[in-house]
Structure 1
Amino acid sequence: MEVATLFLGLFYTLNVKPTLNRTFICIVFVFLPLLILFQLGTKWIFTIFLILSTLAIFNFFSKSIRSILDLSFLVLGSNLSEDSAQRLTYFFISNEQYHLYYYTSIYLVAFSLLAFLYKKLISNINPITPLPFKVRLYILFISIFTIIVVYLNTFIRVDPSETIAFRINVALETGYLFMMAILARILYQSIKKHREFQQMTKEQEQQLNYMNSLEKVNKEMRKFQHDYANILLTMRGYLENEDLEGLKNYFQSHILKAEKETLIKNEVLSNLDNLKIVELKGLLATKLMRADQIGIKMNIEIPEVIEAIDMDIIDLTRIIGILTDNAIEACTKLEEGEVHIAFINTHQNSILIGIDNTVDESSINITDINKENFSTKGDGRGIGLSNVRDLLKGYNNVKMSTQIENGWFMQEIEIPNSQLTLHV
């Protein structure tokens, strides 16, 4: 029972869905070998295999460095729950016939409560982060100590009436909790430094993208200016013959058509001047160039200066990037696809971000959009929207809405400028 609750607790705290495939993996690669080892009486091998296989599987499931921390805490939570259940049952339940029932009930309630409180407390440590060698050594030490704690808790039973043994057990668990607090602090600092490095790298990358986009448009404008004299000469014949209708047709069909795209791109890029967030400016410029290359009209509207948005810049660029990529890809299926992006200061203490694209309404159902892994692009390709929802879970007051209206697929994100709860 304790091993099963430990696994359920890890599924819960690591936000891993217990699918049929994952359950099958747990049964075949953990539970069945454990059953064999238990029957053979190899206590230490049983314990070592339990911890290492559990760590390996849940690290594979979650792709998170937090798996060791969650496992360690849940082992501690299991110990505390077991101690509480033993002592409460021993001192308050006189009828031995019901001891097992009350012990199991108290254990499950206590363990569930501790797992819930832990998840609320530790939800800010989740990303994949490379760790220094010293941190990995400390994690190895925690793992070894976890094996010892599990062994003592599983194979050495302490009688609730034995005060000295109980105090030793409490001291052991207190020291274990202290080591996990140190580990949580180390992980938090490592993640913080890694995110700062990511932000700096992202800022430099997006600034470079923006400068490259500007350079490309400037080259096209210089080319247009260089050809300006030749363009005027081609119009001379129409003017000498006073053929205004022919001049009009020539201008619209050749000159305007040839240079319209350059002028439009220059205008759209100039709209980015009001966005003072370098990372976003570079991201949008890159997406604009991509849309232009595949023949999709993209318009960006930023009517007022926006100095800052109250969201972690890495999360924000990931969200905008995913939604913009989805919008562009959806338009590739249409003959004349369009993407409109707007950043609006609502003057109500929030920023409204709208990403709209034309869509074939018959190919999408609004009720299916929020389903996990849903995508109009085919099976297994809905991870992007799922990632957006996961990122937004860390921002309590950010609202996202989706609707389809008059051939447009519209997604809006409203981000308050204050009172925003951010989980790093």
Structure 2
Amino acid sequence: MTALMQSETLIVFVQTGVLFLFVKSILRDWGTFSYLDTGYALAVIMISRWIFDSIGTYASMPILLMVMLYAWRRTRSLSESFLIGLQVGIWSIVIDHVSDLIVYALKFDGGYLLTFTSLQLLSLVILNVILMNTHVKSTFNRPSLNRVTGVLLLVIYLYIIVSEGLNDELRLVASNLVVLLVVIGLAVALYDEYRITIRAKYQVQQQQAQIKNDTRYMNEIEVHYNELRNFRHDYQNMMLSISEYLKTDDLTGLQEYYQENIAPVTKRVADEQYNLEDLSRVKVKSVKSILFNKLNYAQSQGIKVHFELRQVLERVATNELDLDIALGIILDNAVEAVVGNYHGEITSAIFQTAHSTVFLIQNNLFEQLPPLWQLKEVGYSTKGTNRGLGLNRLGTIVNRNENMILETRVLENRFVQRLTVAREEV
């Protein structure tokens, strides 16, 4: 290929360096340049020429493995790092082939390096513009799809590398380019079909969940009505008892009766009801239902609960089903973290601004937590085996909703999760 007839060292450096830039762009990791990552990338770039001199055309394979290792350090997912590495590797080959064809067509002898570098930088700029203005992802939410796609891309990549090692005629370059473009087109079509199917599936799930939430809401109303009837009955009996003490002027007995029977009930009602009275301002029935059920359950487990909402919440500008699931996961984790502890406490609130609705949930901590990225891995849990799916699923839900942002922090002895839902532009 004409690439080997020009400044080979500089070409290999450019090819290797651009691979790392593409990985950082795909991961939307523009603002993070740790010393370790930067040193690793520079080391790979520096030894890439030696690798190329040792095994020739096949040098791209070990270099690509090192790029995948770099991606894994950022994602902590083998399937995602494998897929991302193959994507940037194959794209580099596409740019290489296009550069060859341009140089050949224009008779631009000695212009491969300039052409290749220009096309790489141009594609890098276009990629960043797309990523900064959309929520397009290079990987699927399901690891199984990532693995299948990665295997297909690996077959294509190995075919190109092996075939170019045997023959580098222009005809072979052109045929490889056609194969790549066809595969890219098929991948885009399959992804679009998958996206449409998933959207339809979630619409059906949302309708089913809405019916379920409406039913649960009506059941809650019935429960509250029965509680009110029981309270009225108890209230009448309590008044009759008080009247007997008053009729006999037994103030000492009345005082003892009040301390032993009325005062504890008053405190319990205040603790269990008024802490959640702001829930009446939540007019989105599915959200109100999930909040009430989770917080009421927490109270039944002896956990101190607070909820605050100053303004009426009329609607949420996102998928209600996904929001309900996300809030359920966050609250379940909060309850699990504090249940059984005498000082267990959960504080929750909803804040509304001109541009967003913020759901804030925090609980106190009673143990040292591992790094946050480890908590989000599938299967990891501080509570034993067969757990740890919540935070990973929560991240998946947030990622598929463009107007959702999740912030997770540990502040002193409190675990805080802030779920922001951006409002639709008017």
TM-score range for the pair, normalised by the shorter chain length: 0.5 to 0.7
C-alpha distance in structure 2 between counterparts of 1:270 and 1:222, whole Å: 19
2:404/2:419 contact within 8 Å kept: no
Q: What is the distance in 2 between the residues matched to 1:239 and 1:117?
A: 80
Q: Partner of 1:357 in structure 2?
A: 363
Q: Distance in 2 between matches of 1:372 and 1:77?
A: 29
Contact 2:318 2:403 in 1 (8 A): no
Cα distance, 1:337–1:245 mapped onto 2, change above 3 Å: farther
Which of 141, 159, 164 is the aligned partner of 1:151? 159
Check conservation: 1:268, 1:299, Cα contact below 8 A. Answer: yes
Q: Aligned pairs, how many?
A: 359
**1:378 partnered with 2:382:** yes
Alignment check: 8 A CA contact 1:304 1:345 kept: yes
Following superposition of structure 1 onto structure 2, how do residues 152-231 of structure 1 map, counting pairs within 5 Å?
Answer: 154-155=162-163, 159-160=168-169, 162=170, 165-231=172-238
Match of 1:40 in 2: none
**TM-score after normalising by structure 1:** 0.61
Residues 1:224 and 1:268: Cα distance change in structure 2 (over 3 Å) = same
- Match of 2:372, SS state, is coil
Tell me, in whole angstroms, the C-alpha distance in 1 between the residues paired with 2:310 and 2:403.
27
Percent of aligned positions that are identical:
22
SS of the aligned residue for 1:227 comes to helix
Q: For the residues of structure 2 that align with 1:130 and 1:202, how far apart are their CA atoms?
A: 26
- Structure 2 residue ranges without an equivalent (≥5): 1-11, 29-71
State how 1:25-424 maps to structure 2 within 5 Å.
Answer: 77=91, 79-84=93-98, 122-123=136-137, 126-128=140-142, 151=159, 154-155=162-163, 159-160=168-169, 162=170, 165-258=172-265, 261=268, 265=272, 267=274, 271-346=278-353, 348-359=354-365, 363-364=367-368, 371-374=372-375, 378=382, 384-385=390-391, 388=394, 392=398, 398=405, 400=407, 402=409, 404=411, 410-418=416-424
Tell me the SS of whatever aligns to 1:351: strand
Conserved in 2, the CA contact under 8 Å of 1:81 and 1:106?
A: no
Q: TM-score, normalised by structure 2?
A: 0.61
Kindly provide the CA deviation profile for residues 36-91 of structure 1, in whole angstroms up to 9, marking residues without a partner as x. Answer: xxxxxxxxxxxxxxxxxxxxxx9xx6789xx99x7996685354145247668998
Q: Is the 8 A contact 1:353 1:413 kept in 2?
A: yes
Taking a change above 3 Å as real, the CA distance of residues 403 and 74 of structure 1, as seen in their structure-2 partners, is closer
Contact preservation (8 Å) 1:207, 1:279: yes
CA distance in 2, matches of 1:63, 1:280: 34
Q: Which moved more, 1:104-113 or 1:236-245?
A: 104-113
Alignment check: 8 A CA contact 1:344 1:352 kept: yes
Shift of 1:174: 3.1
User: 167-176 or 333-342: which moved more?
Assistant: 167-176
SS in 2 for 1:335: coil
Mapped to 1, the partners of 2:274 and 2:389 lie a distance apart of 34
Query: Once the 2 structures are TM-superposed, how far is the Cα of residue 255 of structure 1 from its aligned partner?
Result: 3.5
- Is the 2:160–2:176 Cα contact (8 Å) retained in structure 1? no
Name the Cα RMSD after superposition.
Answer: 5.5
